[in-house]
Structure 1
Amino acid sequence: MDGELLLEALSALTGTTLKPYTGSNGSPDSDLVLNIYNFITVTVLGLEFLNFFGTKCDGGDVQCMGLHNEMFVDMDEFFEPRFDYDFRHLSDESVCMRGNEPYKRPCGWYRFALKVLNKYPDGNAWLGTNGWRSHSVAGEWPVSYHGTSAEGAKGIVKSHYTAGPRQLYGRGIYSTYDIDQASGYSKEFTSKKTGKRYRVLMQNRINPVMRKVCQRQDYWLIEIPEGTSDAKEKEIVEKSIRPYGILLKEV
């Protein structure tokens, strides 16, 4: 897997064109450099919750216009290749647990790791320990998958997303520990580099204290009540659900 394909996958998730930032791109405004926190805001929260990116006007005002058509990613600051993992040729029926919940490994997918170590004030226990294990460790959060693009996330909010046979669970962020279920909501794109078609998902950790188990128990909800302020929504997300990998699979 290479950087160009990875940026295409990330572009599909965020709904904007992303290019590598090396410090020599004419020094774009800091609002145009995608980082972990605004990636989480856009892909998990959706633009309906926070218009995170501002377009600066001549008068110095900031108008929240959603995503720019083109943004930049500092690959060294965004990704952590040492934690990448190739699940593409893995067929594993092992029963695994993460955060005392089932962990369905993403067999058939390739995981690009995000650089999230030491990114949060509560430390790294939420990630658990690295390497193969079938059991949970103290303090870690369960694993969940989320396959909705920014555009889809807006639709979820507007329609009060129904997870299951017309059951209404409330306003907020939905994810599932079942990657087969999440795959049905994956974003698909055709790579300009390879000419092949791919699906892309996010692999997250979800705070067991903050999530609600839906009537359909393989779906989890981070509830964000109607009328919650932008600042509070951002706070809820950052302490509730944290992507740590981008999953890619050839269709």
Structure 2
Amino acid sequence: MYLDSNLRFEVLSSLLGKIIKPYDVKKCERTADILSVDEFLFYNLFREHNAYVKEFFIDEKDFFDPSYDFDFTYLSDSSECKRGDELYKRPKGWYRMALKVGGKYPDGNTWLGTGGWRSHSVPGEWPVSYHGTSLDGAKGIIKSHYKAGVGNAYGRGIYSTPDILIAGAYAKIFTSKTTGKSYNVILQNRINPKMRQICTHPDYWLVPVPAGTSAEEERRIAESSIRPYGILIKELK
């Protein structure tokens, strides 16, 4: 699958529910409206959009890392993989747009593991989880993902799953004006095993966020617990 810049921006716009445009230093007057990867994470976790911001801008070279893009569309290798000592169910049928997350966090890049193909875990890396970004049509038991809301089946906090099929049931669906085709979109993350709780249903993972937590503390919990590193897109046939 080939993803041009226009489609990348459409994917981001569908995820955030905001218009995303390429950053042009000559045209962008408000630096506050330039979206960083860190802010993208927080907006997707907690939906903390500024009401007055009707559109965001991104600098592609600072936001995406195409060298880590990967096309899983026709993946046929069934060999078992592990990441963070957990089974890594690779996203067969999906295309990954890699986010530029190297060096983004003060604890370094160990959470990502080492690059290149490998079937085994390496010390210090975090397991992989997935997050479907919309509840439209979802039939699962979790009522809210990536938003620390009330009334969730296993408590207040941030939910994700190691199962790509479960995440796919929650996937955002959008139709591209660029290609005229419809797509599913989900996020691929790494999750801190020290901050994660495995729910009674083992395919649901929770990062607890207690009621009354301040926005600043929620941001700290999110950034230290679960980190998107790729956007997965799949064409609907």
Give TM-score, length-normalised by structure 2.
0.91
- CA separation in 2, counterparts of 1:200 and 1:154? 14
- Kindly provide the amino acid, as one letter, of the partner of residue 8 in structure 2: L
Verify the 8 A CA contact 2:131 2:145 in the aligned structure 1. Answer: no
Of 199, 216, 228, the residue aligned with 2:201 is 216
Matches for 1:135-146 after TM superposition, within 5 Å: 135-146=120-131
SS of equivalent to 1:34: coil
- CA separation in 1, counterparts of 2:147 and 2:58? 27
1:45 aligns with 2:46: yes
- CA separation in 2, counterparts of 1:194 and 1:92? 29
1:17 aligns with 2:31: no
Matches for 1:19-38 after TM superposition, within 5 Å: 19-25=21-27, 27-38=28-39
Work out the percentage of aligned pairs sharing the same amino acid.
Answer: 53
Q: CA deviation at 1:153?
A: 5.4
Verify the 8 A CA contact 1:46 1:153 in the aligned structure 2. Answer: no
- Kindly provide the amino acid, as one letter, of the partner of residue 47 in structure 2: G
Give TM-score, length-normalised by structure 1.
0.86
Indicate the residue corresponding to 1:160 in structure 2.
Answer: 151
Q: CA deviation at 1:92?
A: 3.1
Of 114, 122, 129, the residue aligned with 1:129 is 114
Q: CA deviation at 1:171?
A: 0.7
Q: CA deviation at 1:156?
A: 5.6
Indicate the residue corresponding to 1:164 in structure 2.
Answer: none
- Kindly provide the amino acid, as one letter, of the partner of residue 199 in structure 1: N
1:7 aligns with 2:14: no
User: How much is the aligned-residue C-alpha RMSD, in angstroms?
Assistant: 1.9
Q: What whole-Å deviation, never above 9, does each CA across 1:67-95 have from its counterpart, x for those lacking one?
A: 72211111110000111111111133221
Indicate the residue corresponding to 1:165 in structure 2.
Answer: none
- CA separation in 2, counterparts of 1:150 and 1:71? 24
Matches for 1:48-127 after TM superposition, within 5 Å: 51=49, 53=50, 65=51, 68-127=53-112
SS of equivalent to 2:90: coil
Q: CA deviation at 1:241?
A: 0.4
Q: What whole-Å deviation, never above 9, does each CA across 1:172-210 have from its counterpart, x for those lacking one?
A: 110011001000011000000000000111100000000
SS of equivalent to 1:77: helix
**Structure 1 residue runs of 4+, over 4 Å off?**
149-159
- CA separation in 2, counterparts of 1:181 and 1:139? 26
- CA separation in 1, counterparts of 2:135 and 2:63? 19
- CA separation in 2, counterparts of 1:139 and 1:6? 31
- Kindly provide the amino acid, as one letter, of the partner of residue 229 in structure 1: S
- CA separation in 2, counterparts of 1:208 and 1:28? 41
Unaligned runs of 5+ in 2: 137-142
- Kindly provide the amino acid, as one letter, of the partner of residue 5 in structure 1: L
Indicate the residue corresponding to 2:140 in structure 1.
Answer: none
Stretch moving more, 178-187 or 38-47 = 38-47
Stretch moving more, 145-154 or 107-116 = 145-154
Unaligned runs of 5+ in 1: 54-64, 162-167
- CA separation in 1, counterparts of 2:189 and 2:83? 11
